[in-house]
Amino acid sequence: MQGQSQQQAYDRGITIFSPDGRLYQVEYAREAVKRGTASIGIRADDGVVLAVDKRIRSPLMERSSVEKLHKADDHIGIASAGHVADARQLIDFARRNAQINQLRFGEPIGVETLTKDVTDHIQQYTQIGGARPFGVALIIGGIDADGEPRLFETDPSGTPYEWKALAVGADRGDVRDYLEENYDEGIDLDEAVGLALKALGSVNDDALRPEAVGLATVGVDDREFSQLTDDEIEDSLVDLDLLADENAVDGDETTDDATEE
């Protein structure tokens, strides 16, 4: 509906509105998110689960260096997708804000409060000139002071959304379709872990290798962010009949110089 030559006029230099009210730099940053592999968040009655695709580009790379699962505070975890270096900036920003909140008010920061601190920070980079937007989406999940599990998304425009279950990154559409079809209100954390793995499997030929998956949960009981070990993930994959052949290579290797995950 909008010719290519006209579009070009609005995507150079600072972030400005196009004649139909769009911010192209923000939309392109959203493409950077899609260049990363998928990350998934699911809210259960008794906690939240974050699952990420940890495919690597060489067997010599340490999978632990694929930073897609982050602990923001004891009770809050973050999964990211998109430009890695940008994600690190936002994670650091989130951690600092969580600490400051603890120091200032003597209590853990709320999940929504933290999310909105982050999105307000992101918005600045879309309105004030001299910088580009952040090319990353975050899934922020945790337990509020009242014991309620919460699950939020931040996007490159700086908009906060709350979800029952969501996916960001590559195959976002397919994973969300899977989640919309299979998510049930009232599931518990174990079921949520299974759903997350199955959703991830749905875009990986239903076969996952434990070390290529990252999984973390925050339960309402202990309110502790905890990552699952490869063995725990393998057990789950076996249960779900999703375990990939040991010799399989990473499903769809990213290119050599990718800076998105």
Considering just the CA atoms, what is the radius of gyration of the chain in Å? 18
CB of 157 to a second copy, least distance (A): 4
Is 17 a residue that touches a second copy (CB under 8 A)? yes
Minimum CB distance to a second copy smaller for 111 or for 237: 111
Least spacing, CB of residue 75 vs a second copy, in Å: 19
Q: Which of 11, 174, 211, 235 binds a second copy (CB under 8 A)?
A: 11
Q: Enumerate residues 210-249 that contact a second copy by CB under 8 A.
A: none
Q: Is 65 in the site for a second copy (CB under 8 A)?
A: yes
- H or E element at residue 137: strand 136-143
Q: What are residue 260's DSSP bridge partners?
A: 83
Distance between CA atoms of 128 and 132, rounded to whole angstroms? Answer: 9
Helix (H) or strand (E) holding 215: strand 213-219
Shortest CB 108 distance to a second copy, Å = 21
SS3 assignment, position 158: coil
Give the residue with the Cβ less far from a second copy, 64 or 245. Answer: 64
In single-letter form, the type of residue at position 59 comes to P
Give the position of tokens 């992101």: 122
Q: Which of residues 124-153 bind a second copy (CB under 8 A)?
A: 125-135, 152
- Quick one: 124 or 241, whose CB is closer to a second copy? 124
Give one word for 23, left, alpha or beta, with left for phi > 0 and alpha for psi -120 to 50.
beta
Residue 63 is given by DSSP the state G
Q: Give me the least distance between CB of 151 and a second copy, in Å please.
A: 8
Give dist(CA 112, CA 132) in Å, integer: 25
10 part of the interface to a second copy, by CB under 8 A: yes
CA 70 centroid distance within chain: 10
User: Dihedral of the CA atoms 230, 115, 138, 121 (nearest 10)?
Assistant: -140
Choosing from 59, 146, 231, 245, the residue that interacts with a second copy (CB under 8 A) is: 59
User: Minimum distance between the CB of residue 223 and a second copy, rounded to whole angstroms?
Assistant: 21
117 touches a second copy by CB under 8 A: no
The Cα–Cα gap between 145 and 43 comes to 16
Asked if 76 is part of the footprint of a second copy (rule: CB under 8 A), the reply reads no
Binding residue count for a second copy, defined by CB under 8 A: 84
Q: Is 104 in the site for a second copy (CB under 8 A)?
A: no
When binding is defined by CB under 8 A, the residue of 13, 146, 186, 245 that contacts a second copy is 13
Assign 157 to helix, strand or coil. Answer: coil
The one segment of 77-85, 188-196, 202-210, 219-227 that binds a second copy by CB under 8 A: 77-85
Q: Enumerate residues 157-196 that contact a second copy by CB under 8 A.
A: 157-166, 172-173, 176, 179-180, 183
> Is residue 6 part of the contact set for a second copy (CB under 8 A)?
yes
Residue 97, Cβ neighbours under 10 Å: how many? 18
